[in-house]
Structure 1
Amino acid sequence: MSMYLGLIAVLLLVTLLSGLARVIRGPEPAARLMGGQLLGTTAVAILLVLSQMSGQRAFLDAAMVFVILAAVALVAFLVLSHGEAGQ
């Protein structure tokens, strides 16, 4: 089971790199935001896998913080982009 979880963690790290590439090279702000959301989602998945591998619940708490930060970032982006479009 630990071998499978390690393989999943490696695949998630590859996904993390692809999201980072989208954030850096994104042609428009919405594409960069979606890359950032991918980074946040992948970070949560990695923390959940690490929690299962190590048996420590602290990783679950950190995952919850990432979920809340991702939601706040999305709302902030929508509010700011709507404010710019309305002017």
Structure 2
Amino acid sequence: MTGWFMFCATVLLLSLGGALWRIWQGPAPADRMMAAQLVGTGGTGLVLLLAAAQGWGMIDVALVLALLAAFAAVGFVKATTHDGAGDPEEEE
């Protein structure tokens, strides 16, 4: 089973390489942010697969990475709105 986890982790690592390429080359800020979200999600999955293969010691790292990815998305949305408020429910 450990071999299967490592194979899946390798596939996710290749996916993360493609996402890093899109962050570096991305034509628009939204494309770069979507690639950064993929890095957060894929990185969380990668760390969870490695934790399953090696004894579940890195689960906290995966949770922190998922939390940071969510905060990055919220920060991007707040920074790209027209008035900077970021919450359409606050408008009158």
Q: Where does structure 1 differ by over 3 angstroms across 4 or more consecutive aligned residues?
A: none
User: Gapped runs of 5+ residues in structure 2?
Assistant: 85-92
Distance 2:50 2:7 in 1: 12
Distance 1:71 1:56 in 2: 23
Distance 2:66 2:2 in 1: 25
CA RMSD of aligned residues (A): 1.2
Alignment of 1:1-87 (within 5 A): 1-57=1-57, 59-82=58-81, 85-86=82-83
TM-score (norm 1): 0.91
Structure label with greater radius of gyration: 2
Distance 1:45 1:68 in 2: 13
User: Gapped runs of 5+ residues in structure 1?
Assistant: none
* Structure 1 position 77, deviation (Å): 0.5
How many residues were matched structurally?
A: 84
User: By percentage of residues, which structure has more helix?
Assistant: 1
